[in-house]
Structure 1
Amino acid sequence: MLADTAAPSRIRTGIGILNSRLHSIGLKIFAVIVLAHWAEHLTQAVQIYVMGWPVPEARGVLGIPFPWLVTSEWMHYGYALLMLVGFILLRPGFTGKSRTWWNVTLGIQVWHHFEHLLLLIQALSGAYLAGRAVPTSLIQLVAPRVELHLFYNALVTIPMVIAMVLHARADRADNAAARCACAVER
């Protein structure tokens, strides 16, 4: 009999465990990462629009002591990649309408990741889009970078929050198929 030596079921794999008994904690950690990133962008916006700082000086919270964080395309790309991986790894835990909203977020993050990959390639090659003096994303051709990143973060965060709220509601019939206890832990 091969029952004991067969490949482990999906529920016993790392992704299966993450999307069953560890889904709630995984989502909480992911939410903290997203909120911390939002705090950086919102602080930068306050520095520019409320405090009147010039854009190069408005570096958020961590960018003040570590200015290279703001100018590092590697750091920005790494965060975009981390987000993409997080959305992919946590996706199997969602069902029904919450999964639909999570998929919307994932799709938006795929584009956001592509934009950061484009920026990184330009930074590494020294060849900038449309003859600009600095790495430039496609949408940045029509919108300033600070405002564009606030917009992208809103586009990613809003459907993510909708997905998480729907996923956490125990009264939703489409949550019955979920393998995690997110909807009953409240």
Structure 2
Amino acid sequence: MNRLLSSFLPGNGQGQTPKTLYFALLVAACVISALLIFAFWVDGWSIWILGLLIIVAWLPLIFSVMSTIYQQHPWLSLLYLVVVGQAAHMIEHLTQAFEIHVLGYAGPKANGIIGFLNIEWVHLVWNSWVLLLVGILLIGYRKNGWLWFLFAFAIYHELEHIYMVYMYMKTGHPGNPGFLAHGGLFAGGLPITRPDLHAIYAVLEEAMLLMIYVMEQRKVKKAAQFQLATA
């Protein structure tokens, strides 16, 4: 697990938080999460309460790693934040897909973990946040072609959610298929439902973010190694 944590760090610069602390925070987050899940099954908590508490349990580790990355490379720390945030968003979409295809839930019952956030405006705000941060990251990583591709995809995704919100305000009915889902604006869409399509979107965005992070992290490590070798 220490190796997994180390993979997110850009190097071994001065002022880093000891990796033993990361390991302790990781173990604490895992143990607390397990206890929360146990309490969820025993006491019958609402799943959104469980989800929020688990997020809180992981925040010390997330921000500790982010702080260390920021000390060495601020742009990489911002990229790390987007990677982590989109990972949580992806999990929410995949949970909704699990509810639909495995648990057999339908309609409003298939709302993911934090169901009260599964509304059109929240989706729009989230995608606006991702688009904004990816746009800001282009200032620091303007030579990264994959980041430009992600930016273009994020623009498309944003436009689709703007359209969905527009249709929601016009009709009063949420869940519009958007551009490409079944029944969508573009030629009736593809033979795939909106929840499934947007789960795929979330996975693709997270995969691109992880790839971009690894690429930029390697550049930072190589630069640090070169500087050390020539010092």
Work out the number of aligned pairs and report it. 147
Partner of 1:165: 214
From 6, 9, 26, give the equivalent of 2:78.
Answer: 26
From 121, 130, 133, give the equivalent of 1:83.
Answer: 130
Larger CA deviation: 79-88 vs 133-142: 133-142
Q: Matches of residues 123-138 of structure 1 in structure 2 within 5 Å?
A: 123-126=168-171, 135-138=176-179
Q: Find the aligned partners of 1:126 and 1:165 in 2 and give their Cα distance.
A: 43
Aligned identity (percent) is: 26
The unaligned stretches of length 5 or more in structure 1 are: 1-17
Whether the 8 Å CA contact 2:161–2:178 is kept in 1: the answer is: yes
Q: Greater relative contact order (Cα 8 A, min sep 6): structure 1 or 2? A: 1
RMSD of aligned alpha carbons:
2.7
Q: Find the aligned partners of 1:155 and 1:134 in 2 and give their Cα distance.
A: 21
TM-score normalised by length of structure 1: 0.69
SS of equivalent residue, structure 1 residue 170: helix
The unaligned stretches of length 5 or more in structure 2 are: 1-69, 185-189
Q: Find the aligned partners of 1:167 and 1:134 in 2 and give their Cα distance.
A: 37
Change (3 A) 1:171 1:164: closer
Change (3 A) 1:171 1:85: closer
Q: Find the aligned partners of 1:167 and 1:39 in 2 and give their Cα distance.
A: 24
Kindly indicate which of the two structures has a greater share of residues assigned to helix. 2
Whether the 8 Å CA contact 1:105–1:157 is kept in 2: the answer is: no
Whether the 8 Å CA contact 1:108–1:155 is kept in 2: the answer is: no
Whether the 8 Å CA contact 1:48–1:54 is kept in 2: the answer is: yes
Whether the 8 Å CA contact 1:105–1:155 is kept in 2: the answer is: no
